[in-house]
Amino acid sequence: MKPQRTWVLVADGARARILRDVLSTGKTPDKQEDLVFHSEPRQLREIMADKPGRSFASTGARRSAMEYHSDPVRDEDRAFAAKLADTLQGHHLAGDFDQLVVAAAPQMLGDLRLAFPESLRKVTAAEIAKDFTKLPEHELRDVIRKLEIKRLSTDE
């Protein structure tokens, strides 16, 4: 029986790391590099540099400031989650992994759930609402291995 290849996605709103085969107990002959992602670090004043403008009132000559229709920072977080979902989907379609574990900050976890296509949701073995992105690589691998993660059965 072929061993399950499990990838672990660790993410927050600004950075992510995909640990490949971190849960495998057997030794792999060639250690695969982690996939690392960073969103472009920008200050809030840079994101909101373009003011929404002013508009005329429906009657009279008065003008009023317009409001943003959405939160630009949240929009960037959602775009980052969509980028991660696209990357994972491509690797899944290529057969690079069999199951996925997602450990992310709670808000990012929600964004990832919305961004994941059905095929990624089906292979997601566990979701952990915790931010591990600030841990050094060796500590991160140890923490992930110590978590009790339910294995998906191969006959699903």
Picking from 37, 21, 10, 38, the residue whose alpha carbon sits closest to that of residue 112 is 10
Q: Do residues 9 and 101 touch, judged by C-beta distance below 8 A?
A: yes
Q: Would you put residue 33 in left (φ > 0), alpha (ψ -120 to 50) or beta?
A: beta
Distance CA 74, CA 14 (A): 11
Q: Which domains does the chain have, with CATH numbers?
A: 1-40+71-136 (3.30.420.60)
pLDDT of 40-79, one tens digit each? 666 555 655 565 565 656 666 666 666 666 677 788 888 8
Instruction: Report pLDDT for 107.
Output: 93
Mean pLDDT of 23-38: 60
| Contact of 92 with 119, CB cutoff 8 Å | yes
pLDDT tens digits for range 79-112: 899 999 999 999 999 999 999 999 999 999 999 9
